[in-house]
Amino acid sequence: MPKPIVYILDPYHPDAVTALQNNPSIDVVLKNDPRRDNWHADATGLMIRSETRITPTDLAQAKKLKVIVKQGVGVDNIDLSSAKDHGVVVCNTPALNSESVAELTLTLALSIARRISEVDRRVRRGEMVVRSQTLGQSLYQKAIGIIGMGNIGKVVARKWIGAMDGRIVAYDPFAAPDAWTDIPHRRVQALEELLDVSDVVSLHVPLTDSTRSMIGKPQFERMKNNAILLNCARGGIVDEAALTDALTTKKIYGAALDAMDVEPPTIEAYEELLQNQNLIMTPHIGASTMENQIKSGLAVVETLIAVLEGEDVPNRVF
Catalytically active residues, by annotation: 234, 263, 284
What is the phi-psi region of residue 213: left when phi exceeds 0, alpha when psi lies from -120 to 50, beta otherwise? Answer: left
> Kind and range of the H or E element at 170?
strand 167-171
Q: Which long-range contacts (CB under 8 A, 24 or more apart) does 258-261 make?
A: 258/104, 258/108, 258/231, 258/232, 258/282, 258/283, 258/284, 258/285, 258/286, 259/231, 259/232, 259/233, 259/234, 259/235, 259/284, 259/286, 260/231, 260/235, 261/235, 261/236
What is the phi-psi region of residue 249: left when phi exceeds 0, alpha when psi lies from -120 to 50, beta otherwise? Answer: alpha
Instruction: Give the whole-angstrom CA distance, residue 229 versus residue 220.
Output: 9
Question: Rounded to 5 degrees, what are φ and ψ at 234?
Answer: -140, 145
**Residue 69, strand partner residues:** 47, 91
